[in-house]
Amino acid sequence: MRTVFRLTEDIESLHAAAIERQIQRTGHLYVTIRPTGSLSARIRALVDSRATVFEVIAPTRRVAERLADSSPQIAEGLVFHHQILQMQVAQLFDRELSRISRVRRPDALNAVDVAAGWETWDQLRRLQGLSIASSGRVVRMLIEGVLGK
What local confidence, expressed as pLDDT, does residue 1 receive?
A: 46
pLDDT of residue 104: 96
Q: Provide the pLDDT for residue 3.
A: 52
**46-63 exposure pattern, b = at least 16 Cβ within 10 A, e = fewer:** bbebbbebbeebeeebee
Domain that holds residue 48: 2-147
Select from 30, 140, 147, 29 the least CA-distant residue to 87: 30
Q: What is the pLDDT of residue 68?
A: 85
Question: pLDDT in tens for each of the 149 residues of the chain?
Answer: 455 445 556 566 665 666 666 666 766 777 789 999 999 999 999 999 999 999 998 888 888 888 889 888 889 888 988 999 999 999 999 999 999 999 999 999 999 999 999 999 999 999 999 999 999 999 999 999 999 86
Q: How many domains does the chain have?
A: 1
In this prediction, residue 7 carries a pLDDT of: 55
- Kindly report the pTM of this predicted structure: 0.84
Determine the pLDDT at residue 87.
Answer: 95
